[in-house]
Amino acid sequence: MTRYTDQGKQDTRSGFGAGMTELGRTNPKVVTLCADLVGSLKIETFIAENPERFFQVGIAEANMMGIAAGLTIGGYIPFTSTFANFSTGRVYDQIRQSIAYSGKNVKICASHAGITLGEDGATHQILEDIGLMKMLPGMTVINPCDFNQTKAATLAVAEHQGPVYLRFGRPKVANFTPADQVFEIGKAVKLSEGNDVTIIATGHLVWEALKAAEALETQGISAEVINIHTIKPLDEKAILDSVAKTGCVVTAEEHNMLGGLGESVARTLATHHPAPQELVAVRDSFGESGTPEQLMAKYGLDNKAIETAVFKALKRKA
């Protein structure tokens, strides 16, 4: 299988910050709004270089969404920024009514997503945001896997016309994708070829999927690993082509199993090519306080959990 090297751990939120810095220098239509979390979103450089294109709204996230929707009418491309819980759950009505319903060109950028937020605990560890956002008509949902891909995604969404939900995280994780990658919205990335099982992962679980695939290879199991960075629109062709070859699939995500990537894949398979599927995801529960590593292990979101799911899928295929 193809081997990937960790180029040095970095947080995906810093990938967003790096993307915003570049956009600040290259796209005068890009403006940024923040709900009192500038340091957490890593947008200090954008603000320092473009103070006239930054709006600090304070802890008033609903107002931030309304302002962003209004800015699009003047031809601007607003990027809202706060924690994922406040970017979605707290302001769902405003997003639905003011942004999605009217197709406003707002980029909703959400840091500290999922259980790897860690010690802040269940109230901040939103695990339902992908489901909330993918159900909104016309909303594009993106969940990149590392620093480089988050930076590339940030640049790509500025060129995309229409509302986007861009999700990323807090902890430093493996940075293994190319720095010069071209990010294609809606296009899956096949990271390794395999014949026995398809592993479809998103976000922080992509690196865990690669580690699982390496361990499986030592046991004679050939796993095809696919990075689904765009959950909506979903690259159904990539999924179906792979599963037609391998005959079974494991999906892996840092999200509730209800409403996430796994359900989107299950719908695709049920409609076009039924096949055994196992889901690695949080099983209908809230999170809790702990280190990211402790929580990923406890909630079954690491490479060991993916390996276990692969054996279950293979048994069902047989």
Which residue in the block uniquely carries the two structure tokens 């005959």?
247
Strands 164-167 and 172-173, sheet pairing: unpaired
Single-letter amino acid, residue 258: L
pLDDT digit string, tens, across residues 271-296: 999 999 999 999 999 999 999 999 99
pLDDT higher than 80, residue 223? yes
CB atoms within 10 A of CB 206: 31
In this predicted model, what pLDDT tens digit does every residue of 77-136 receive, in sequence order? 999 999 999 999 999 999 999 999 999 999 999 999 999 999 999 999 999 999 999 999
- Asked if domains 10-173 and 189-317 share a fold, the reply is yes
Residue 143's pLDDT band (cuts 50, 70, 90): very high
The 10s digit of each residue's pLDDT in 19-43 is: 999 999 999 999 999 999 999 999 9
Domains of the chain, residue spans: 10-173, 189-317
Does 1 score more than 80 pLDDT? no
> Which residue in 44, 49, 61, 307 is the catalytic one?
61
Q: What is the reported pLDDT for 269? A: 98
> pTM of the entire structure?
0.97
Is the pLDDT reported for residue 178 higher than 70? Answer: yes
Amino acid at position 251, single letter:
T
Q: Give the N- to C-terminal CA distance of the chain in Å, as an integer.
A: 23
- The domain defined by 189-317 folds into Rossmann fold (3.40.50)
- Does 10-173 carry CATH code 3.40.50.970? yes
> What average pLDDT does range 186-199 have in this prediction?
98
The H or E element that residue 256 is part of is: strand 249-256
Residue 140 pLDDT more than 80? yes
DSSP-based three-state secondary structure for 142:
strand
Looking at residue 159, its pLDDT comes to 98
pLDDT of res. 294? 96
DSSP state of 194: -
The predicted structure's pLDDT at residue 201: 98
293 is catalytic: no
